[in-house]
């Protein structure tokens, strides 16, 4: 069911989030991952989509490979490729030998992966000792399902508060992100990620919580109040 939804919605993703269409990717995500992966000769991008993150990760690398479960994404990635390579595959069963890569990227992918423990174990397996894993997530705390603005009309002037949803409960949902577009999500608390990483010899060495970029905040007047609420969480890990 999950793979079917990604196949059906591949064109929606390509039109709305690639080739400069999305300010969060253009102004924040792509520059961040390019800097974090610079200097690693062999880089793998898990859940690469149509390849924009793989292309950014390929700067300065000798080999950059993208893997995605969707044929619709991989085929477009191949058409747009510069020097990168693309293969179809699953995060829970990566088609590569052990210690094949110096760095691995998963950008806004693991919140769609049902069996996260297997996927993390696969990252550890294909990384060389001392290799880097860059895990980018929708912020697990502040973007919990059910989170959002609460307006206090009893105060003068009116005040706003950011409500955090049911953070500690693991939730698997299929959300209608736009009319007719259904995407599977798995919410997990941050501790689930950190503990799973640690159990698979991946140590968190750095954590980033950047503020939303200007291009995102100017898309709607309602977003201007969210300048202090991060939407993105980045965990930089080292294979022990």
Whether residue 173 lies inside any domain: the answer is no
What mean pLDDT comes out for the span 73-99? 97
Note the pLDDT tens digit of each residue in 43-55. 999 999 999 999 9
Cα–Cα–Cα angle for 155, 159, 164, rounded to 5 degrees: 125
The number of distinct structural domains making up the chain is: 1
Share of the chain above pLDDT 70, in %: 98
From the list 239, 237, 233, 240, the residue with the least C-alpha distance to 107 is 233
Average pLDDT over residues 68-83: 97
- Mean pLDDT (whole number) for 106-113: 97
Output the pLDDT for position 161: 79
Distance separating alpha carbons of residues 131 and 129, to the nearest angstrom: 5
Q: Looking at residues 129-140, what average pLDDT do you find?
A: 98
Does residue 181 sit within a domain? no
Distances in whole angstroms, Cα of residue 219 to Cα of each of 46, 179, 180, 192: 29, 19, 22, 33
- Flag whether pLDDT at 112 surpasses 80: yes
Q: Does any domain span residue 35?
A: yes
In the block, which residue shows the tokens 């999305």?
22
Answer whether residue 192 is part of any domain: yes
Q: Report the C-alpha gap between 203 and 201 in whole angstroms.
A: 6
The one-character DSSP state at 28 is I
Please write the tens of the pLDDT for every residue from 170-181: 999 998 988 999
Q: What average pLDDT does the segment 91-101 reach?
A: 98
- pTM for the predicted model, two decimal places: 0.94
Q: Let me know if residue 63 belongs to a domain.
A: yes
Q: Has residue 188 got a pLDDT over 80?
A: yes
Whether cis (ω within 30° of 0) applies to the bond prior to 225 is no
What's the pLDDT tens digit per position in 189-212? 999 999 999 999 999 999 999 999
Q: Say which CATH number the domain at 59 has.
A: 3.40.50.150
Give residue 1's pLDDT: 52
pLDDT given for residue 151 in this prediction: 77
Contact 162, 55 (CB under 8 A): no
Q: Does the pLDDT at position 163 exceed 90?
A: no
In a domain, 15, yes or no: yes
Q: Alpha-carbon torsion 6, 12, 16, 19, what sign?
A: positive
Structure tokens at 156: 């003068």
Dist. CA 162–CA 212, nearest whole Å? 15
Tokens of 23: 């300010």
d(CA 63, CA 214): 33
- pLDDT of 222 > 80? The answer is no
- pLDDT-above-90 percentage for the chain: 81
Report the SS3 class of residue 145: coil
Structural domain that includes position 106: 2-139+187-239
Query: What average pLDDT score do residues 118-128 get?
Result: 99
Mean pLDDT of the chain: 94
Q: What is the DSSP letter of 195?
A: H
């Amino acid at each position: 069911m999950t793979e079917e939804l990604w196949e059906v919605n591949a064109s929606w993703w390509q039109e709305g989030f690639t080739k400069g269409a999305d300010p969060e990717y253009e102004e924040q995500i792509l520059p961040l991952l390019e800097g974090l992966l610079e200097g690693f000769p062999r880089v793998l991008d898990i859940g690469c989509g149509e390849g924009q993150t793989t292309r950014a990760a390929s700067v300065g690398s000798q080999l950059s490979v993208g893997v995605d479960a969707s044929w619709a994404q991989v085929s477009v990635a191949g058409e747009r490729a510069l020097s990168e390579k693309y293969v179809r595959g699953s995060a829970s069963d990566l088609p590569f030998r052990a210690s094949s890569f110096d760095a691995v990227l998963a950008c806004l992918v693991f919140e769609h992966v049902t069996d996260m423990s297997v996927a993390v174990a696969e990252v550890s397996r294909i990384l060389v000792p001392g290799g880097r894993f860059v895990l980018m997530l929708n912020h697990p705390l502040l973007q919990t399902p059910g989170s959002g603005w609460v307006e206090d009309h009893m105060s003068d002037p009116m005040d706003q508060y950011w409500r955090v949803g049911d953070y500690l409960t693991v939730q698997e949902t299929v959300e209608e992100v736009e009319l007719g577009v259904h995407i599977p999500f798995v919410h997990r608390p941050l501790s689930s990620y950190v503990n799973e990483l640690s159990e698979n010899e991946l140590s968190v060495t750095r954590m980033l919580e950047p503020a939303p970029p200007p291009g995102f905040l100017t898309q709607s007047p309602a977003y201007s109040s969210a300048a202090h609420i991060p939407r993105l969480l980045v965990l930089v890990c080292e294979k022990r």
